[in-house]
């Protein structure tokens, strides 16, 4: 029985699901959401990510039986029907939890879910496999901040194109992890089409663009931010410190992840992709801490 529970949990792709949920909770907190609302928004993102992951395993089960036999469905830890059922229930739950914050927030959540479904059902096996993540990643801060405050601050808008670049880079990095398996199953994904070396350099150039945008455009580094006051939640100096260290630690993690992705073994490359994902999340949180600091702290 326990192995079935573990298998069903693994259908939801725990690492990216928990990372996105944690980032959503943190962003909502920076935007001034009280704890119950921040937890609800984090739970809504967790449910949406679980839905996308479970549907991916349902759709890819025949291919995974050849390329990834340890995944839950080919390993016999879960069935395709359970994957589809989990995707339907989790997706509906994610939208409903988002709708508590209003229809605009639910609309952003539905758009993100729709992009994930498009990837799972159609685009993951094509040269356009990078597109859904490129469009969906900027929706994470948008969903969290809009759900927390009901508005979108001006400092968040420059983050959106950086999010598109980061999402594209992470999609290519994920393809680098699976390069041999995609080639073995003749899956015409982005990395297979480009070749691993060119794909790595492309993803590195995209990450360099993210770093440049973050260092140049993230608010909170100048005198205006230093004049920002504290809030009932996080004081201004703490927000500014979070902004600085979020960018430093995040960009360092991205750099280490990029190096790991040049290594030969798929397991090490997967750790590299995970490092890049954590680094991108840290950069985004640092950027948004700067948004909160430059606005004079949280609204409370």
Element (H, E) at 265: none
pLDDT beyond 80 at 298: no
CATH class, range 153-300? mainly alpha
Which CATH number is 1-152's, of 3.30.420.40, 3.30.530.20, 1.10.357.140, 3.40.50.720? 1.10.357.140
Q: Would you place residue 300 in the very low, low, confident or very high pLDDT band (cuts 50, 70, 90)?
A: very low
pLDDT value for 278: 97
Q: What residue spans in the chain does CATH classification 1.20.120 cover?
A: 153-300
Give the angle subtended at the CA of 147 by the CAs of 212 and 43, to the nearest 5°.
Answer: 95
Average confidence (pLDDT) over 38-45: 98
pLDDT value for 223: 39
Q: pLDDT, tens digit, for every residue of 82-131?
A: 999 999 999 999 999 999 999 999 999 999 999 999 999 999 888 898 99
Has this prediction a pTM greater than 0.85?
yes
> What span, in angstroms and rounded, lies between the C-alpha atoms of 47 and 95?
9
pLDDT beyond 80 at 284: yes
- Helical segments of the chain, H only: 2-11, 14-30, 35-67, 80-99, 103-121, 131-136, 139-149, 159-177, 179-184, 190-194, 196-217, 223-226, 236-260, 266-294
Q: What residue spans in the chain does CATH classification 1.10.357.140 cover?
A: 1-152
Length of the chain: 300
Residue 192 or residue 144, greater confidence: 144
Q: How far is CA 135 from CA 216, 219, 296, in A?
A: 22, 23, 30
pLDDT beyond 50 at 297: no
pLDDT value for 226: 40
């Amino acid at each position: 029985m326990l192995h079935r529970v573990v298998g069903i949990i693994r259908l939801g792709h725990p690492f990216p699901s928990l990372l996105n949920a944690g980032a959503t909770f943190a962003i909502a907190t920076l935007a001034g959401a009280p704890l119950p609302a921040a937890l609800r928004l984090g739970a809504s993102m967790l449910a949406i990510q679980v839905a996308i992951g479970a549907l991916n395993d349902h759709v890819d089960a025949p291919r995974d039986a050849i390329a990834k036999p340890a995944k839950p469905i080919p390993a016999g830890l879960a069935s395709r029907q359970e994957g589809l059922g989990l995707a339907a229930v989790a997706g509906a739950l994610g939208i409903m939890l988002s709708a508590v914050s209003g229809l605009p927030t639910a609309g952003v959540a539905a758009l993100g879910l729709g992009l994930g479904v498009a990837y799972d059902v159609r685009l993951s096996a094509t040269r356009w496999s990078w597109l859904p993540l490129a469009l969906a990643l900027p929706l994470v801060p948008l969903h969290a901040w809009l759900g927390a405050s009901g508005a979108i601050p001006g400092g968040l808008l420059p983050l959106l194109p950086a999010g598109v670049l980061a999402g594209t880079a992470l999609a290519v990095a994920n393809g680098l992890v699976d390069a041999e398996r995609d080639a073995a199953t003749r899956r015409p994904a982005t990395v297979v089409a480009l070749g691993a070396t060119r794909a790595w350099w492309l993803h590195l150039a995209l990450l360099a663009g993210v770093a440049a945008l973050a260092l140049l455009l993230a608010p909170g580094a100048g005198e205006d931010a230093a004049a920002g006051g504290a809030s009932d939640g996080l004081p201004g100096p703490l927000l500014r410190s979070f902004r600085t260290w979020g960018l430093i630690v995040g960009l360092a993690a991205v750099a280490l992840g990029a190096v790991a992705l040049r290594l030969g073994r798929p397991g090490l490359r997967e750790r590299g992709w995970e490092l890049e994902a954590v680094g991108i999340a840290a950069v985004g949180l640092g950027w948004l801490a700067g948004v909160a600091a430059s606005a004079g702290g949280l609204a409370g």
